[in-house]
Amino acid sequence: MKQPTRLNHPPEVTVPDDNRALVAPIYQSVKFTFDSVEESQRQSRGERDGFVYSRVSNPTLRQLELTLAELQGREGCLVTASGIAAVQLALLALCKQNDHVIFFAEMYQPTRYIVRRQLARYGVRSTMLSIEDTAGIERTLATTPTRLVVFETPSNPMLKVADLGAIVAAARKHEALTVLDNTFAGFHNYGQFDIDVFVHSLTKYASGHGDVMGGAIIAAKSIIDGMRADFVVSGATLDPHTAFLIQRGLKTYFLRYERQCENAMRIARFLATRSEVKAVRYPGLESDRGHALAKQQQRDFGTIVTFELAGELETARKFSNALKLFAISASLGSTESLVQPGELMRPRDLTEQERAWAAVSDSTIRLSIGIEDASDLIDDLTQALTVSV
């Protein structure tokens, strides 16, 4: 072999079966080969296992899919290049012209865009409600044949807790599918409910370090298989190296999430004692209106704490600017604590009535709690409250 040929056909290194790598290697290869045309054909006819092209599947992506499906308590999973790609793919794959979708004012704004703008272009009708309007959900399901109920709980940023049992039962009764964006509560929550499809942003708690993006759709194998052809042509494939980093992040998922929840509870309790704070929203507080429901349906109370400062826009701005450990940043689920004042979370696509459901005001503050020492975070909040209110 001449040198240019050799460089393109390097020596193979085989690892003995009893000498495995402790950490699975990254399959950073777009293409996979077979030893013969016949084997390649057998694979494409589904008569044997194997991989062909990474946009379709790849062993590193497959490992992440298996991990996430098991964590959420379902059989099937597709990983995507971002969380919103998972939302969009799930909704596009599950709907057709003239279907009707129920969704909510308290949802992630780009999800509302997908339902109200994109699906609408393809003739999908929709009704937007408040996530706390359980009676309205039942009434709409009873009067309008509905394909999907798409929702989130606890809601962002006001942490309203949806009655999962009631929503799932009503959807089943009226033969609608439920799609839960479970990014906030995490993979370890809600698997016990008869929810058809979970979507997640892996950008948050799964990767955990705020340095990569990804998404996942998790459901029964039959539902995932039904979406596969749409997934392959969407092009929203996750890169294997990113999948590897997310798989690595998942090793500390519970350590991080549990620590974040512990810190969040301490911070919520602290804020509730302060005169500069008008109200605290955290489902872990016994006084929170979602507490009883959250206690019954969640394993923990989450890592986000939202509160209302005594004051207006200027106070919230001063408070956010004064914080030293909480970075002013969108998103959540990082190891670092983050802050978002109400003026950066105003829903721009809602009417006044719908905005009242979302309930974000100029004095709202959302904290995404990290894994730092809680007493340092409380000291930082104390100094910012003292200088701003």
Ligand X SMILES: Cc1ncc(COP(=O)(O)O)c(C=O)c1O
Q: What are phi and psi of 254, to 5 degrees?
A: -70, -40
How far apart, in whole angstroms, are the C-alpha atoms of residue 30 and residue 43?
A: 17
Taking CB under 6 A as the criterion, the residue among 181, 239, 276, 288 binding ligand X is 181
Interacting span for ligand X (CB under 6 A) from 83-91, 119-127, 280-288, 373-381: 83-91
Taking CB under 6 A as the criterion, the residue among 27, 104, 108, 307 binding ligand X is 108
| Cβ distance to ligand X smaller for residue 27 or 108 | 108
Residue at 358: amino acid letter = A
Q: What is the nearest approach in angstroms of ligand X to the Cβ of residue 104?
A: 12
Binding of residue 298 to ligand X (CB under 6 A):
no
Binding of residue 249 to ligand X (CB under 6 A):
no
| Cβ distance to ligand X smaller for residue 112 or 374 | 112
| Cβ distance to ligand X smaller for residue 152 or 276 | 152
Binding of residue 82 to ligand X (CB under 6 A):
yes
Binding of residue 152 to ligand X (CB under 6 A):
yes
Binding of residue 252 to ligand X (CB under 6 A):
no
3-state SS, the chain, equals CCHHHHHHCCCCCCCCCCCCCCCCCCCCCCECCCCCHHHHHHHHCCCCCCCCECCCCCHHHHHHHHHHHHHHCCCEEEEECCHHHHHHHHHHHHCCCCCEEEEECCCCHHHHHHHHHHHHHCCCEEEEECCCCHHHHHHHHHHCCCCEEEEECCCCCCCCCCCHHHHHHHHHHCCCEEEEECCCCCCCCCCCCCCCEEEEECCCCCCCCCCCCCEEEEECHHHHHHHHHHHHHHCCECCHHHHHHHHHHHCCHHHHHHHHHHHHHHHHHHHHCCCCEEEEECCCCCCCCCHHHHHHHCCCCCCEEEEEECCCHHHHHHHHHHCCCCEECCCCCCCCCEEEEHHHCCCCCCCHHHHHHHCCCCCEEEEECCCCCHHHHHHHHHHHHHHHC
Place of tokens 């009707």: 100
Residue nearest to ligand X (CB): 83
Give the number of residues written for the chain.
Answer: 389
String of contacts with ligand X for each residue 193-212, x by CB under 6 A: --------x-x---------
Q: What is the nearest approach in angstroms of ligand X to the Cβ of residue 306?
A: 14
Taking CB under 6 A as the criterion, the residue among 68, 84, 105, 124 binding ligand X is 84
Interacting span for ligand X (CB under 6 A) from 118-126, 178-186, 227-235, 350-358: 178-186
Q: What is the nearest approach in angstroms of ligand X to the Cβ of residue 179?
A: 11
| Cβ distance to ligand X smaller for residue 76 or 333 | 333
Q: What is the nearest approach in angstroms of ligand X to the Cβ of residue 43?
A: 32
Interacting span for ligand X (CB under 6 A) from 81-89, 119-127, 188-196, 232-240: 81-89
Taking CB under 6 A as the criterion, the residue among 40, 43, 109, 331 binding ligand X is 331
Going 115 to 119 to 120 to 126, the CA torsion angle's sign is negative
Structure tokens at 45: 């006819």
Binding of residue 218 to ligand X (CB under 6 A):
no
Binding of residue 183 to ligand X (CB under 6 A):
yes
Q: What is the nearest approach in angstroms of ligand X to the Cβ of residue 151?
A: 11
| Cβ distance to ligand X smaller for residue 116 or 274 | 116
| Cβ distance to ligand X smaller for residue 40 or 109 | 109
Q: What is the nearest approach in angstroms of ligand X to the Cβ of residue 109?
A: 9
Contacts with ligand X by CB under 6 A lie at 82-84, 87, 108, 152, 156, 181, 183-184, 201, 203, 213, 215, 331
